[in-house]
Amino acid sequence: MAAIIGDHFHAESGVAFQSTCYVITFLSFTRDASWHTVTTIGPRAVPLFTDVAGRRPPPAAGRGAAGRAVAGGLLGRGLVVLMSRLRLNDLQLAQGGRTVLEHVSGSFEDGAITALIGANGAGKSTLIQAIMGELAPIKGRVECDVPKERRAWLPQQLALDLTFPMSVEELIMTGTWPSHGALKGYCGPHYRQARKVMARLGISQLAHRPLGELSGGQRQRALLGRTLMQEAELLLLDEPFANVDLDTVEVLMDVLRDMAAQGTTIIVVLHDLEQLSRLADCVLALAGGHARWSTPEAILERHHGGTQRHHHAPILPLDLPGLSP
Amino acid sequence: MIALLNEWFIAPFDYGFMRRAFVAGIALSLAAPPLGVFLVLRGMSLIGDAMAHAILPGVALGFLLAGFSLPAMSLGGILSGLVVAGLAGGVSQMSGQREDAAMASFFLISLAAGVMLVSLGGSSVDLTHVLFGSILAVNSSALVLIAAISSLIVVCLAWMFRAMVVECLDPLFLRGQGNRNGLIHGLFLALVVLNLTAGFQTLGTLMAVGLMMLPATAARFWSKRLEGLMAIAVVWAMLASTGGLLLSYHLSMPSGPSIIMLAGIGYIASALFGRHHSLMAKLRRRATPLEASEAG
């Protein structure tokens, strides 16, 4: 019977070509699919925050109390701090013809975590869009020395398609896009790095779980994992701790602090005083279409008259120093 | 037994037209379902249908200018499909209107133009042929064209596979990486147009969408992994196109519709009895116990 089939079909054009192409395609499909089998090859460890070539981001600028003083003091007057890869220059931003922010100037210190605070509609997301280059300013400029592929953005309600058939590990591996693009194959060190990232975020046991079955906190961890994999040098987070349990908040804060210590510039939208006091090095407050630089201490003092720890309390934007109408 | 099998499955292929139809079906089954899987995952299931109408005026124009020549009709189809996709994309980029609205507007214009052109130039028999195709009339040059186009689609899809996945999942991430968002999307639509033009000769412009979408929608009930979806869809499309061909031979039914009907029966059966999200799966109510899932 096989002979009959062979007689019938071997002469027809296209079959050989077609099957060759199919083999190529299949290999290419499975190359991305069989990550977990490759991960186990070879014991050599790769440090978490370096890429395969061993390149590290530049070291952090002055941090701690001195760094905060510099950032708070100089930035407050709109002066340019030397170690800054992200500067705003008299920015005017609009959404659909309505000006949202005006005269926003200043610079974000390398390796510092800046909290972006303000009421809903104050323009936090608009400013983030402008920094990511998604929204062209009406006036002024965003000067960013970080290459586009090293900027990462964790949007608020994520535009992530949760029905998409993809596992957590596969999501984290897409963070290799800057170095790999669409074509280059992944190799051992990358799988091991993905493993380390997942272990760091406490989601190792979820590696092969489909994205659709994750909880809000697990999803947030996985997304931060992608930015770790991406070795982001500028990271913008829009309310990363919303709808997330306390354990996850601890892990996420820890990882963010580590990233900042490695020199990553981090801008995070916050609504919670306690998180602000624990995470932020400086504060950019938005209200009434204007922006004002401040320090976490000043904000806390304004709210409670002291810098001691407080339980979760909302930040009252109209109470912000210098922003009262 | 062997004689019966021979009579049912082998003897029909003694005829050259059946062999060519078989190979054309296999070639299309390799290229179309992966495109369909991506269309389904992107929530663009109906875009395939719109594009099928969009290629009509080009096909008709090719028919008017060069008679019943497949290369001319295919070229026309590809061009008009790309023009419609480009216009729809351009308008939605410019005006901020949703792309499906722009696409719907342009494909309707295109469809009207196509029907008008066909009726200007020929009888309604030609229109039926363009709309519903005839896989049994595939000649050798048509077969080479179909095989070449579907090979091109398969290779392109393999090349842009990872980009497609990332773009489906999180377009903002890809745009953040400095990729022009429209590029991958445009390439993908171009592949859909190519696939439909390869299919219109055998299945007709309308039926060609069926081989693209039905196996893909059916596969959603069987697998939760992208590779699984594609493999199942391709295998099911091959079975449906071969089975449909044999059905149309033995029961003397039109070939295109019997292929699509077979694929459609597969979809309905999957919706009823598939592994995930099907009616059966809803009624089954079974889950792995906690200990087992922790260990695994």
Q: Do B147 and A153 touch (CB under 8 A)?
A: no
**Would you tell me how many other CB atoms lie within 10 Å of the CB of residue B296?**
8
Token pair for B18: 């059946």
- SS3 at position A249: helix
ipTM of this complex: 0.75
Per residue in A121-160, pLDDT tens?
888 888 888 888 878 888 888 888 888 778 888 876 555 7
Residue A37 confidence (pLDDT) above 60: no
Q: For residue A21, list chain B residues with Cβ-Cβ distance below 8 A.
A: 30, 151, 154-155
Higher-pLDDT residue of B232 and A71 is: B232
Cβ-nearest to A17 among B147, B163, B226: B147
Identify whether A118 is part of a domain.
yes
Closest chain B C-alpha to A74 CA, distance in angstroms: 30
Identify whether A10 is part of a domain.
no
Q: For residue A159, list chain B residues with Cβ-Cβ distance below 8 A.
A: 170-172
Average pLDDT estimate for B34-62: 88
What pLDDT was estimated at residue A30? 47
Per residue in B262-295, pLDDT tens?
999 999 999 999 888 888 888 877 777 776 555 4
Residue A201 confidence (pLDDT) above 70: yes
Average pLDDT estimate for A173-186: 75
For chain B, what is the mean pLDDT? Answer: 84
For chain A, what is the mean pLDDT? Answer: 72
What pLDDT was estimated at residue B178? 63
Report how far residue B156's alpha carbon sits from residue B158's, in angstroms, rounded to the nearest whole number: 5
* Chain B residue with minimum CA distance to A13: B144
Identify whether A235 is part of a domain.
yes
Which of B173, B202, B232 should one mutate to test binding to chain A, selecting the residue with the greatest count of A CBs within 10 A? B173
Task: State percent of chain B over pLDDT 90.
Answer: 28
Tell me how long chain A is: 325
> pLDDT band at B237, cuts 50/70/90?
very high
Cβ-nearest to B147 among A18, A152, A166: A18
- For residue A34, what is the enclosing H or E element? none
Task: State percent of chain A over pLDDT 70.
Answer: 65
> pLDDT band at B52, cuts 50/70/90?
confident
Higher-pLDDT residue of B255 and A66 is: B255
* Chain A residue with minimum CA distance to B43: A161
Q: Do B14 and A226 touch (CB under 8 A)?
A: no
Cβ-nearest to B143 among A14, A149, A178: A14
Cβ-nearest to B172 among A8, A24, A159: A159
Average pLDDT estimate for A62-75: 41
Q: Do A165 and B229 touch (CB under 8 A)?
A: yes
Q: How many domains does chain A have?
A: 1
Start-to-end Cα distance in chain B: 47
Strand-pairing partners, residue B177, are none
Please give the residue range of the domain that contains residue A198: 34-319
> pLDDT band at A23, cuts 50/70/90?
low
**Closest by Cα among B216, B276, B278, B162 to B41:** B216
Identify whether A163 is part of a domain.
yes
> pLDDT band at B195, cuts 50/70/90?
very high
Query: Which domains, and CATH codes, for chain B?
Result: 2-282 (1.10.3470.10)
Q: For residue B226, list chain A residues with Cβ-Cβ distance below 8 A.
A: 33, 165-166
Task: State percent of chain B over pLDDT 70.
Answer: 91
Amino acid at A156: Q
Q: Return the CATH number at A300.
A: 3.40.50.300
What pLDDT was estimated at residue B122? 64
Residue A111 confidence (pLDDT) above 90: no
Residue A60 confidence (pLDDT) above 60: no
Average pLDDT estimate for B49-57: 87
Identify whether A9 is part of a domain.
no
